């Protein structure tokens, strides 16, 4: 069971989602096979690289804006 502090729910769907998560037996879940794990790793790496590239581009743009003022 996941321990969560008392939350103020936005709607009933969130309550239902929390109940579903808490009723889930995590130990019964199986690990994905090696091929699937590699796909997740590759996707995470690509996401991280794109995020870093965007961050660098924004930093450069902000630097230009502040240096021109």
Each residue's pLDDT expressed in tens, for the chain with a length of 69 residues: 556 666 666 788 888 888 898 898 888 888 889 999 999 999 999 999 998 888 888 887 787 777 765
The DSSP-derived string for 32-60 is: PPHHHHHHHHHHHHHHHHHHHHHHHHHHH
Question: What residue ranges do the domains of the chain occupy?
Answer: 32-69
What the block records as the tokens of 21 is 């998560």
- Dihedral angle sign, alpha carbons of residues 60, 44, 17, 13: positive
Q: Residue 13's pLDDT is what? A: 87
Q: Would the pTM of this model clear 0.85, i.e. be above it? A: no
Which tokens belong to 4?
């969560």
Long-range contacts of 15-24 (CB under 8 A, 24+ apart): none
CA 20 to chain centre: 19
């Amino acid at each position: 069971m996941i321990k969560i502090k008392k939350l103020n729910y936005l709607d009933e769907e969130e309550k239902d989602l929390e109940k579903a998560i808490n009723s889930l037996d995590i130990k019964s879940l199986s690990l994905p096979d090696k091929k699937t794990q590699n796909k997740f790793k590759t996707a995470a790496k690509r996401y991280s690289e794109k995020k870093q590239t965007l961050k660098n581009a924004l930093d450069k743009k902000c630097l230009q804006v502040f240096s021109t003022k």
